[in-house]
Structures are given as structure tokens and as C-alpha cells.
Copies of this chain bind each other. A is one copy, B any other.
């Protein structure tokens, strides 16, 4: 019953707004969740509503595993499609845990918390794929977010980059 290292499935993070700023984001998030599960990967997110809930619902519909890293100290805060709810009691600092645990992250829409997760992910060398999410520039250079248009592309890029990025695990 011991796993060999090769058995460990990838974990894909889904980050994004907890209240939809655009109705189209719900279908995108659900589609991303479905494709993560269909690829045999686990989904990790912040465990709450909006993009997080839609993505978990999609993954659950395909029989996937969903992990929610909650800001509060009560596991019951998780959306009903989270399989493994982790209560951190750390508030927004829990965003760092989502990023460290994921092999790649898909950002959908998003508020300022999502921007902090993108910063963390890039800081730790984790690939970030963007669907209608933030762009950020400094001194004329853009952050290396891989911009895509569809859930299929998002998950395809996440899997490709998770497999090939030599992650400098801080």
C-alpha cells in the first residue's frame, strides 16, 4: 500500500474571486475544475465561494479530489464541494499554503487576494496560468502569467508546466 513517488498526482491550484465580478467566470471555473479532475489531478483552493466553489463543483462532478485551505478556524466554512477542508486560522496568510502545495496555479478573474497569490506563486517559481485575470507590469516588463482563453487551454498549460518547471522550492 506504499506509493512510489511516481504515483503522486499533480495538485493544481485554482485561485480567484470569492464573488463573481462577471457571470462568465462561473462557467470558466467549473470547466477548469472538471478538466483538472478528468486529468487525474487533485484541486487545491481557498475553500470558499465564487471561483473556488465553482471549480470544486466541477471537479466533484468528474469524481475528482478537492482540497480547501480555509482562512478561518472552522472546517464548516468550506463550500459543500470540498473533500478535504483544512482550517488554518491564519486569515489571508493561508494563501501562501495554497501556493506552496500546488504544482501550478490557474487564476480566474480575481480580487486583491488573488493578486497576492499570483505574487507568491511567481516568487516561489510556480507556473501561473491566467483566465481573464490580473496583468502586472513593472519597469516595462509583464509578469510571466501564461494567458489563455479556455478551461481546456488552462489545464493543458498547467499540466505541461507543472511537469517541466524545475521548481525552486524555497
User: Hey, which bits of chain A sit against chain B, CB under 8 A?
Assistant: 1-3, 5, 8, 11, 21-22, 42, 57, 60-61, 65, 67, 69, 73-76, 80-81, 84-93, 95-97, 100-101, 109-120, 122-124, 132-139, 143, 169-170
Contacts and interface: CB of A to CB of B under 8 A. Distances in A.
Interface SS of chain A: mixed
B3 A123 contact: no
B88 A67 contact: no
Nearest to A63: B1
A80 B3 contact: yes
B138 A81 contact: no
A15 to B, nearest CB: 11
A14 B124 CA distance: 21
Given A100-B73, A138-B135, A1 B81 contact: yes
A73 B169 contact: yes
Given A60-B1, A123-B111, A123-B113, A90 B92 contact: no
